[in-house]
Amino acid sequence: MDAEIRVLVTGAAGRMGREVVRAVCAADGMSLVGAVDLANAGQDAGAVAGIGPAGIPIRSDLEGALRDAAPNVMVDFTIARAAQANVMTAIDRGVRFVVGTSGMQPEAVEAILHKAAVHGVAGAIVPNFALGAVLMMRFARVAAQYLPACEIVELHHDGKVDFPSGTAKATAHEVASGRGDAVGHARGLGGRGTEIEGVPIHSVRLPGLVAHQEVIFGGAGETLTIRHDSLGRDSFMPGVLLAIRRVVGLDRVVTGLDPLLD
């Protein structure tokens, strides 16, 4: 696409939404054309994001905003129960989507994949936009071939209500795939412990954290730890902008950032 990519952000008044507004407004080759949130409706999205007026008022009506703004891509950073409905609305209008909302259940993702395929709308559902996190998952898959014993510790800020994180689930899948024993199941281990595809995951929620993960492998007389730390939400923005640019050229929905890197 040679013309500017027209972007609408849902959850524009939230912590990640404000970061996306700032990033899109500063990026070459794209422009912010719409902003949706139940909070701060009527206020300028740029002002809410702390960059000064952008000329885009925050609206509470997604369908109306999609109709009036005519975006090429909708970026969703809301909450799980709202994200599916938002994406379904975008698909109905033929708008491509990039979803960073955490906590969507597998059946919600499957419903999105099915509807998008029926309507021929492309998109990306990404559990973590940090490029380093994508590399961590790649490295974990390789390590699992040689050190199959593995546990994951994921640590996030105390405002993150879902656990385990989408990144931890995706990493567990990569580990299981590397071991050759992906079985596609999950079970609770009590408290915040969960086992995904045979990989135990431990969740920590504390103030002062942003987003962190350790993938710990154990073998005879040795351990290997692969760790990634996001120290600020700006760490996710290069991945968000990459996804926006790549999704306009897709003919399907992809899950994760990894398929967009190649």
**CATH code for the domain in which residue 29 is found:** 3.40.50.720
- Displacement of CA 6 from its chain's centroid (Å): 20
pLDDT in tens, the chain (262 residues): 558 999 999 999 999 999 999 999 999 999 999 999 999 999 999 999 999 999 999 999 999 999 999 999 999 999 988 999 999 999 999 999 999 988 788 899 999 999 999 999 999 999 889 999 999 999 999 999 999 999 999 999 998 888 899 899 999 999 999 999 755 555 655 555 889 999 999 999 999 999 999 999 999 999 999 999 999 888 999 999 999 999 999 999 999 898 998 7
Same domain, 116 and 30: yes
Domain count for the chain, please give it.
2
Helix (H, G, I), strand (E, B) or coil at 211: strand
Q: Is 178 part of any domain?
A: yes
| Boundary-marking domain end, from 53, 87, 121 | 121
Q: Is there a single domain that holds both residue 9 and residue 116?
A: yes
* Domain end point (choices 75, 99, 121): 121
Peptide bond into 259 cis (omega under 30): no
Residues 21 and 106 both lie in one domain: yes
Contact assessment for residue 53 and residue 45, using Cβ atoms and an 8 Å cutoff? no
Establish if 257 belongs to a structural domain: no
Is 155 found in the same domain as 96? Answer: no
Please check whether residue 256 lies inside any domain of the structure: no
Question: So which residues are the catalytic ones?
Answer: 156, 160
Q: What is the pTM of this model?
A: 0.84
My answer on whether 106 and 161 are in the same domain is no
Pairing of strands 30-36, 5-10: parallel
Q: Give the whole-angstrom CA distance, residue 125 versus residue 132.
A: 17
Q: Which of 101, 121, 141 is the last residue of a domain?
A: 121
Identify whether 260 is part of a domain.
no
Domain that holds residue 219: 131-231
